Amino acid sequence: MIEFHQVFKRYEGGHEALKGVSFGLPRGEMAFLTGHSGAGKSTLLKLIALMERPTRGQIILDDIDISNVKDRQIPYHRRKIGMIFQDHRLLYDRSVYDNVALPLIIAGVSDRDIPKRVRAALDKVGLLNKERQLPIQLSGGEQQRVGIARAVVNKPPLLLADEPTGNLDPELSEDIMNLFAQFNQVGVSVLIASHDLGLIARMKHPVIALKEGRTIRNELAEVDFA
Amino acid sequence: MSEVKSKTKRSSATSYKISFRDRFNTALKLHKENSLQTLLDILRQPTNSLMTILVLAIALALPSAFYLFMTNAKAVSQSWDGGVKISVYLQDDATEKQAQELLTQLNLRPQFEQVTFVSKDDALSEFKEYSGIGDAISYLDKNPLPFAITLTPTSSFADPKSLESLAQELTSLALVDKAKLDSDWIKKYNSILTISEQIATFVSLMLALGVLLIVGNTIRLAILNRRDEIQVIKLVGATDAFIRRPFLYTGLWYGLIAALLAALMVNIVFVLLKQSTSQLAQLYSSEFSLLGLAPSFTLSLLVIGSLLGLIGAWVSVRKHLKDINPQ
């Protein structure tokens, strides 16, 4: 699903966030990305979503070399990826339902399909009874579930999550992780950046550990797909 | 496992791709929703938009008022054009008999509808009456005024060009000192009109530019206000067109509402002025009545207002949306 070949990223100002990262995430696999803050986890996810472009190296997503994706095709590229953030990034002036419906409206899904799909997504995250509420009326864990529902409503083949449990207590964190595992079981590829090492260890999925922009542990090494 | 995978691959391949028909219908629906939503937003927050719309309306009302003024000023000069006369002044040494002969000759010409002889005495008494220096004139021992003939051309010779050539031809006659068109001041009036028209055009263009800038700036603030929202929407795969559309509609509405207000303002001023001008026209025993905004002009005002709003928004959106990228 994702292949990184010797990817470097240097930001303007000289900071080198990634220094030659290579790995492959097979289709339908779920994996964790760990490392201290500043190790390059977020940069790696941003490169996949084309929020940043790599300085050097090749990234392949869904069999497409994403350096060939032109700026104006980026929206269509992002529709293949469901993204989840630590700070949820919800629209706080719109209801839970409207937040989840947003990717469908953007993609141009027909009116008659939208309610069905929004409710299916909310059902999966267990928030079907809160669709009329505003995000601010929900707890942190519930807001994160809204973010997940929004990420999966379009049935993207890949989910990317950046510290999805960063602000949650351990019990809620485990719920959220199990939710990701459920999506993975129906075939969605999942890559989660997290520094919750205990939780990661219990989940028994491949791990890539980053330190100062290099992989120090790589259970998805390039040899797996080369 | 491989079976599951291939199944999900197929379903995922169809899930984020949408048929053309659905996409077209959705685009249509979005246009409807965006246009309605942005209009409601403007109407619902009158405090935010009222000032902007008023400024825009004034900027659009001024050129419209100029236009209305010019139309009326031209209509006034046209109502004068029919009544132009040519005054022919004879040479000082011409006798009354010679003058009468010329009068008969001119009377035979088809170009003139009316030919009037003005004797020296008539001219002097008229001059005394209207010049205001009548007393001084009575001290003159001799009437200094020449014989004169006043000619009213038929309407087919009343255009400025034929009048000019008639006057030249008359001047070349032996007895004639000079032939003077009393349309000279109409010409001056018309050239002042032309200059005013040019100034009005220039000022109108500046005001149109002002409208563009005001709408552009309003849209810029709206974009900055919704910066976070735009970032989120970009993250979930919104195209620029999707993000742009509500802002473009907002600009369009601003322009259209302002143009409607401008038309209203000009019409109010028109109603207020109509009475006083008809009084003035009566004093001059003229048939002139003030012309209002033609429906076609009102329509083009609305179109121009909307277009200016749309273009202003477009320029602003192009410039500022590019700078907002998800972090």
Q: To which residue do tokens 């079981």 refer? A: A185
Q: What is the pLDDT of residue A222?
A: 61
Between residues B7 and B291, which one has the greater pLDDT? B291
Residues A159-185, mean pLDDT to the nearest whole number: 90
CATH 3.60.20.10 fits A26-53+70-209, yes or no: no
Looking at residues A174-193, what average pLDDT do you find?
Answer: 92
Question: Which residues of chain B does A150 touch, with a Cβ-Cβ cutoff of 8 Å?
Answer: 236
Nearest to B236 among A77, A106, A186 (CB): A106
Residue of A nearest to B5 (CA): A187
DSSP E strands, B154-294: 176-181
- pLDDT of B18: 63
pLDDT of A226 reads 43
Q: How far is the CA of A214 from the CAs of A38, A39, A152, A218, B247, in angstroms?
A: 11, 8, 30, 10, 43
Under an 8 A CB cutoff, do A49 and B235 touch?
A: yes
B-interface mutation test, from A84, A91, A110, A159, most B Cβ less than 10 A away: A110
Q: What is the mean pLDDT of chain A?
A: 90
pLDDT of residue B1 exceeding 50: no
Identity of the residue in B27, B236, B239 whose CB atom sits nearest the CB atom of A150: B236
Domain at B85-182, CATH from 3.20.20.70, 3.50.50.60, 3.40.50.620, 3.30.70.3040: 3.30.70.3040
pLDDT surpassing 50 at residue B304:
yes
Q: Strand ranges (DSSP E) for chain B?
A: 86-90, 112-118, 148-153, 176-181
Q: In chain A, where are the structural domains located?
A: 26-53+70-209
Q: Using CA coordinates, name the residue in chain A closest to B21.
A: A110
| CA atoms of B82 and A74, how far apart (whole Å) | 70
pLDDT in tens, A67-98: 889 988 999 999 999 999 988 899 999 999 99
The DSSP bridge partners found for residue A210 are A215
By DSSP bridging, strand A56-61 and strand A2-10 are antiparallel
Q: What is the largest CA-CA distance in chain B?
A: 131
| Lowest mean pLDDT across A130-134, A170-174, B261-265 | A170-174
Q: What is the mean pLDDT of residues B86-97?
A: 83
- How do residues B217-255 score in pLDDT, each as one tens digit? 999 999 999 999 999 999 999 999 899 999 999 999 999
Query: Distance, in angstroms, between A16 CA and closest chain B CA?
Result: 17
% of chain B beyond a pLDDT of 90 = 32
Mean per-residue pLDDT, B256-279: 90
Pairing of strands A207-211, A30-34: parallel
pLDDT at B200: 92
Of A103, A187, A188, the CB nearest to B236: A103
Q: Measured between alpha carbons, how far is B177 from B272 in angstroms, rounded to an integer?
A: 49
Q: ipTM of this predicted complex?
A: 0.89
User: B157 vs B97, which has greater pLDDT?
Assistant: B97
How far apart are the C-alpha atoms of B189 and B184, rounded to whole Å? 9
The minimal CB distance from B16 to the residues A91, A150, A154 is found for A154
User: Would the pLDDT of B147 be above 90?
Assistant: no
Mean pLDDT across chain B: 82
Single out the residue of A79, A85, A133, A131 nearest to residue A109, CA to CA.
A79
Q: How confident is the model at residue B15 (pLDDT cuts 50, 70, 90)?
A: very low
Q: What is the value of pTM for the model shown? A: 0.76
Say what the pLDDT of residue B82 is.
58
| Distance between CA atoms of residues B67 and B201, nearest Å | 9
Neighbours of A40 (CB within 10 A): 27
Q: What mean pLDDT do residues B178-205 have? A: 85
Q: What is the DSSP letter of B289?
A: -
> Using the beta-carbon criterion (under 8 Å), do B239 and A75 form an inter-chain contact?
yes
Shortest Cα distance from B322 to chain A (angstroms)? 11
- The pLDDT assigned to B119 comes to 81
Please check the confidence at residue B110 and state whether its pLDDT lies above 70.
yes
The burial of B248, by beta-carbon neighbours within 10 Å (0-12 exposed, 13-18 middle, 19 or more buried), is given as buried
Helix, strand and coil content of chain A, in percent to the nearest 5, comes to: 40, 25, 35
Task: List CB contacts (< 8 A) between B30 and chain A.
Answer: 105
Contact at CB, A108 and B18, closer than 8 angstroms: yes
Nearest-10 crossing angle of helices B295-321, B184-225: 40
- Mutation target vs A (from B31, B233, B235; most A CBs, 10 A cutoff): B235
* Residue range(s) occupied by CATH 3.30.70.3040 in chain B: 85-182
Min Cα separation B49/chain A (Å): 20
- Give the Cα separation of B152 and B202 in Å (integer): 39
In this structure, what DSSP letter does residue A40 have? S
Distance in Å, alpha carbon of B27 to nearest chain A alpha carbon = 7
pLDDT above 70: percentage of residues in chain B: 90
The predicted model gives B193-197 an average pLDDT of 90
Of B5, B22, B326, the CB nearest to A187: B5
For B302-320, give the DSSP string: HHHHHHHHHHHHHHHHHHH
Lowest mean pLDDT among A194-208, B101-115, B250-264: B101-115
